[in-house]
Amino acid sequence: MGKPKKQKRAVPRLARGFRDLTAADLVARRDMIQRVIEVYERYGFQALETPAIEYVDVLGKFLPEADDQPDAGIFAFKYDDDEWVALRYDLTAPLSRYVAKNFQELGMPFRRYQTGQVWRCEKPEPGRFREFTQLDIDIVGAGSILADAEVVTVLAESMEALGIARGEYRVQLNDRKVLNGLLEVVGCAAEVVPTVLRSLDKIDKVGPEGVRLLLGPGREDPESGDFTKGAGLEPGQVDTLLAFVDAPGDDRATYLETVAGLIGESKDGQAGLAEMRELDEILSERGLGPDQVVFTPSVVRGLAYYTGPVVEVALTFTDPTSGKPFGSVAGGGRYDDLVGRFTGQPVPATGASIGVSRLLDALNKLGKTDPSRGICPVLVTTFDKSRRADYQRLADEVRAAGIPCELYVGGGGAPKQFKYADRRGFSVAVVAGPDEFEAGQVSLKDLRLGRELSQSEGFAEDRKAWLESLPGQVTVPRAELVAQIREILGRHSG
């Protein structure tokens, strides 16, 4: 009888397009979201949570055909009722389903905010993942431009609540009706309009010449070699469209003048121009100047469901990684037809979504996050097994004072415990052995000071003396435990 085959070990692989997040990442994300939510709630938005999974037909695109699994951009599978369901790809489609289902009970206009994970089965790229977090606001049931202005105001205030100063961000506005009017004037066929909009939306990514190819015969990606079929427009049509998106965007009055000269008598275009004029008036009434909100022709938003004003928030500081302006961290606009898919009648709606990971990356690069926020600051070491209850009381006292504290629960003596403390990045180690307990005292070691000194010049030669002198270690009466910990932590809080 042969030997049984050795079972192959699983490889700890991370699924392509996904990532792990550390404590520092999660704490920074939580803090950022909370500051934005405080702004949302000041403007009357209320929290809502919808499921991660929706029926595919509720999501409103990528519908399955026959028995084939839909795979055009979403993670889908058959549910226990043999219907196709999928992980949500945004938070707006679930909101539309929720409003339609509860329309009679909701007071209109209905303001909600939501934060949650969304999933898209798209090609992973650097900094772009298949799972990410969105932070949305929406106003449903209000057709007035005042609602759009409210969303714009909240986005600007959210950026400043995060410490992003004026001049480091721009809330950029355009109008889908203006674009529709322009497409009408240049003679775009209806069937190519979605392709044209998606192409224009890529101007920041592929540049004007790349967009020219996408609007015309098509474009081959220089890195992957993939070919994207173009919209097939004539050169004159392409020139007009590019002239529009390249128009100056620093002055709202210039935008209004440029649009008026391009859209002619187009009914859609004139309606969009009227909306932008009213937006300009409201924003001026609110004191939002061009250092905060601008009208930008290049803001297109590639999704087909937008029906009016569209918005993006762009950060203008230079990204040290790329050497270019950081770019967009939020986007949205008016979508008056989504809820109507369920109700059979138009329900006006407008909103925006912040890309949480993208915005957090920007805050990290601007130095507006604290990496130490995700680290527990205090470790109570445990050297004497007979004093187990005393060590637990020490840790409980520190926690009762509102200071996060970890009780060491592993094995090993002082060297192993201090090595653990250093690797985990603790700021303070609480040390107590038989002598300290007998004298009613406790020793505290400033670990951050020790790490700083270990990087200093000459440390290698003086390491033995350093270890013997234990710089940053102080012994205090047991009653002064919390006060001394606060003092040590206070040294490093700046």
> At a CB cut-off of 8 Å and minimum separation 6, what does 473 contact?
431, 443, 444, 445, 446
Contact in structure between 357 and 18 (CB atoms under 8 Å): no
> 229 - beta bridge partners?
218
Question: Is a pLDDT exceeding 80 seen at residue 336?
Answer: yes
Predicted pLDDT at 229: 87
Range scoring the smallest mean pLDDT among 12-26, 30-44, 187-201, 409-423: 187-201
Mean pLDDT, the chain, integer = 88
> Which of the residue ranges 227-231, 239-243, 249-253, 364-368 has the most confident prediction, judged by mean pLDDT?
364-368
Every domain of the chain with CATH number 3.30.930.10 lies at: 23-52+88-365
Question: Is a pLDDT exceeding 80 seen at residue 459?
Answer: no
Range scoring the smallest mean pLDDT among 85-94, 162-171, 226-235: 226-235
Question: Is a pLDDT exceeding 50 seen at residue 463?
Answer: no
Q: What is the mean pLDDT of residues 146-170?
A: 96
Question: Is a pLDDT exceeding 90 seen at residue 467?
Answer: no
Q: What is the mean pLDDT of residues 157-183?
A: 93
Predicted pLDDT at 456: 52
> At a CB cut-off of 8 Å and minimum separation 6, what does 379 contact?
405, 406, 408, 417, 420, 421, 424, 426, 428, 429, 430
Predicted pLDDT at 250: 65
Predicted pLDDT at 419: 92
Question: Is a pLDDT exceeding 80 seen at residue 346?
Answer: yes
**Which stretches of 139-298 are DSSP H helices?**
145-161, 176-186, 193-200, 203-215, 235-245, 252-262, 267-285
Predicted pLDDT at 200: 82
302 band by pLDDT with thresholds 50, 70 and 90:
low
Stated as kind and residue range, the H or E segment containing 398 is: helix 388-400
Higher-pLDDT residue of 138, 215: 138
Predicted pLDDT at 466: 45
- Maximum alpha-carbon separation in the chain: 92
Class of domain 376-491: alpha beta
Every domain of the chain with CATH number 3.40.50.800 lies at: 376-491
Contact in structure between 4 and 335 (CB atoms under 8 Å): no
Question: Is a pLDDT exceeding 60 seen at residue 239?
Answer: yes
Sign (positive or negative) of CA dihedral 416, 418, 424, 430: positive
Q: What is the mean pLDDT of residues 293-299?
A: 89
Question: Is a pLDDT exceeding 80 seen at residue 347?
Answer: yes
Give the tokens for residue 264: 């002619």
pLDDT in tens, 314-331: 999 998 888 889 999 999
pLDDT in tens, 172-185: 999 999 988 988 88
Predicted pLDDT at 62: 44
> 87 - beta bridge partners?
53
CATH code, 23-52+88-365: 3.30.930.10
Predicted pLDDT at 29: 95
Q: What is the mean pLDDT of residues 136-151?
A: 97
> 353 - beta bridge partners?
136, 331
66 band by pLDDT with thresholds 50, 70 and 90:
very low
96 band by pLDDT with thresholds 50, 70 and 90:
very high
Predicted pLDDT at 54: 95
**Number of Cβ within a 10 Å radius of residue 64:** 17
Q: What is the mean pLDDT of residues 296-308?
A: 81
42 band by pLDDT with thresholds 50, 70 and 90:
very high
Contact in structure between 383 and 411 (CB atoms under 8 Å): no
Contact in structure between 429 and 381 (CB atoms under 8 Å): yes
**Which stretches of 80-144 are DSSP H helices?**
92-101
CA distances to 39, 73, 171, 320, 354 from 366, in Å: 21, 32, 18, 10, 17
Instruction: Report the C-alpha dihedral over residues 20, 24, 27, 29, rounded to 10 degrees.
Output: -60
Range scoring the smallest mean pLDDT among 2-11, 91-100, 256-265: 2-11
Q: What is the mean pLDDT of residues 382-396?
A: 95
Predicted pLDDT at 69: 52
Predicted pLDDT at 437: 93
Q: Of the candidates 246, 15, 32, which has an alpha carbon nearest to the alpha carbon of residue 129?
A: 15
Predicted pLDDT at 70: 54
